Structure 1
Amino acid sequence: MAPQREHFSAYLAASAGAAAVNYPLWKASAVSQSAFIQPQGDGLAARFQVFKQAIAPPYRGMPAVIFGMTWARCAIFFGSDYWRPRLQQWGAPDAVAMMTPPLVFSSIVQIVNMPIVRASITMQNPKVENDPNFRTTVSTLRHLAETKGFFKLWHGLPAGLIKSVPKYITSVVVKDLCEMYLPKASTESEFLTRSCIKSVVAGVAGAVLTNPADILRNEMFKTDLGLFDTVRKLRTDELARRPNASSPFLASMGWVTRGLGSNLVAVSVPITLTIFLTDFFIRMESGPNYVR
């Protein structure tokens, strides 16, 4: 069932709620993937200690991050749900109708949000915690523009697009397929169960694809290197950490799983919550006869 314009508030509320819940997880993922805090060892306990430090306050740049997440996911999910049935009515193949809206909307929001993303991730570095230039998102943006150049605020955009666009295309398409093939709900409990399944599957499917691109983007923010130089640096750093590895190639590619656990949670939770809460709020607005 296509959303009507009056359901926009449900998408916005769901996106805002998911963004607020997700901020600490986003911070932990950003810190882990950027290696701002290094684990003291290779074991699970060392990684968990890093996660505990990364998820703890201070929550610097939180308002800007929540705002960016809220409008971005609202635009992607509402825009995709609104335009898919209309493209189908105009004769577009189902695959095109499902993939084109998230492709367009996720690309737009990534380009618009890129300066906020760069500033917010830069602020999480403990080394700049007491630097007045990095106290707020606005001061960080100003400092980056003055010292590195205005257009450097979009540094890392290719990796950001590689990360975000496939993630949201996958999440939206999986959500739409679940809506098509899962049995329709006839009771409140069936509706909640169906929505949970759809939300979790879509969230995890989108998250598992994005970890390497997240790491690339965050490393580009940290080093100001280009995309291919960043890949070379990451591989070199991994080899330096594992000089006695039996397979140098596999050892050099170990960076692709850095921060995977925290990223899986940080990415899948907000998508899952956004989809589930959207269904819940629309059902509240539309009444018990609403089927999704």
Structure 2
Amino acid sequence: MAPKSAEQATAYFCASGAAAVVNFPLWKASAMGQSGYTLHAKTMYGRMLESLQPPWRGVFAVMGGMTWARAAIFYGSDKGRHLLQAAGVGHSASIALPPLAISTCVQVVNMPLIRCSIMLQNPTATQTSLWQMGKHIVHKRGFFALWHGLSAGIFKTVPKYVTAVYVKEMMDEWLAPVDSTDRTAVLVRSAKKSVIAGLAGATLTNPLDVIRNTMFQTETSMFQTIKHLHAKKGWRFLYQGLGKNLVAVAVPVSLTIFLTDAFSRILA
């Protein structure tokens, strides 16, 4: 029996929350690596360990932002696809349009939280809370500076979720069906779909993460930031923090998809 709408929403929210808890240290390591924040360790392994250590500033707000955002995108995309298909919209468009619209709105709403939380991870930052960082930005640059980097954030976030949702739906169609009573087979099938969808979304977004995070520090436009990064590092900047980002982005997206399937079976 298919889960009811309320049960589906609960499954998406629980899955997104669990993924957010796992993801915060990985997100912090990725944000620090892409932002070019100065770390004391000399080796790549040492820098990764250092970035994963406390202080975990803004941890609860970041996890809350991650939870509602992913739940809204994946649940909204699922419901939107069914509504568009019922209205006669084409197959591909009905899959791609909902995450395109919802992830754009989510990015606009979450942008102040994203900016403040990433800047808060700077080891040299004197602010110790998101509220203090937000006040600092507004005092220094004005209220709308909280949305500085939105263009790069949209270019980064929207393709990630459109790709992840689209690949998830395509994998659901391409993978061979399994016996619904065989729990192991069902979980393995879900894991394949989840991992491939997460990696597909993550691989597209690293350069725009680097650009957005640098914009936060330099207060320059997206094109000026690209010019600055290219002058400083050449096209190598496209791969800055790539390894950490693949983990930080692919893990929560894959976990959200996988755990949603698991929770949906429990709640059905």
Q: For the superposition of Structure 1 and Structure 2, which TM-score range results when normalised by the shorter chain? A: over 0.9
Residue 126 of structure 1 corresponds to which residue in structure 2? Answer: 123
Distance 1:2 1:51 in 2: 43
Is contact 1:111–1:157 with CA below 8 Å preserved after alignment? yes
> 1:2/1:231 Cα in 2 relative to 1: closer, same or farther (>3 Å)?
farther
> 1:174/1:2 Cα in 2 relative to 1: closer, same or farther (>3 Å)?
farther
Q: What letter corresponds to residue 211 of structure 1 in structure 2?
A: N
Confirm or deny that 1:229 pairs with 2:224. Answer: yes
Q: TM-score if structure 2 supplies the norm length?
A: 0.96
Confirm or deny that 1:280 pairs with 2:262. Answer: yes
Using the TM superposition, give the Cα deviation of residue 38 of structure 1 relative to its aligned residue in structure 2, in angstroms: 5.3
Is contact 2:39–2:50 with CA below 8 Å preserved after alignment? no
Distance 1:125 1:139 in 2: 14
Using the TM superposition, give the Cα deviation of residue 266 of structure 1 relative to its aligned residue in structure 2, in angstroms: 0.1
Using the TM superposition, give the Cα deviation of residue 39 of structure 1 relative to its aligned residue in structure 2, in angstroms: 8.0
Using the TM superposition, give the Cα deviation of residue 86 of structure 1 relative to its aligned residue in structure 2, in angstroms: 1.6
Residue 141 of structure 2 corresponds to which residue in structure 1? Answer: 148
Using the TM superposition, give the Cα deviation of residue 4 of structure 1 relative to its aligned residue in structure 2, in angstroms: 3.5
* Runs of 4+ that moved beyond 4 A: 38-41
Residue 182 of structure 1 corresponds to which residue in structure 2? Answer: 175
Residue 199 of structure 1 corresponds to which residue in structure 2? Answer: 194
Distance 1:113 1:211 in 2: 19
Q: TM-score if structure 1 supplies the norm length?
A: 0.88
Using the TM superposition, give the Cα deviation of residue 185 of structure 1 relative to its aligned residue in structure 2, in angstroms: 2.3
Residue 264 of structure 1 corresponds to which residue in structure 2? Answer: 246
Distance 2:2 2:106 in 1: 22
Residue 206 of structure 2 corresponds to which residue in structure 1? Answer: 211
Q: What letter corresponds to residue 18 of structure 1 in structure 2?
A: A
Is contact 1:103–1:169 with CA below 8 Å preserved after alignment? yes
Can you give the 5+ residue segments of structure 1 that lack an aligned partner in the other structure? Answer: 239-251, 287-292
Larger radius of gyration, structure 1 or 2? 1
Q: RCO (CA 8 Å, sep 6+): is it higher in 1 or 2?
A: 2
> Percent identity among equivalent residues?
46
Matched ranges for 1:1-292 at <5 A: 4-6=4-6, 7-37=8-38, 46-128=43-125, 131=126, 134-186=127-179, 187-238=182-233, 252-286=234-268
Distance 1:163 1:277 in 2: 24
Is contact 1:37–1:54 with CA below 8 Å preserved after alignment? no
Distance 1:285 1:170 in 2: 27
Using the TM superposition, give the Cα deviation of residue 3 of structure 1 relative to its aligned residue in structure 2, in angstroms: 6.0
Root mean square deviation of aligned Cα? 1.4
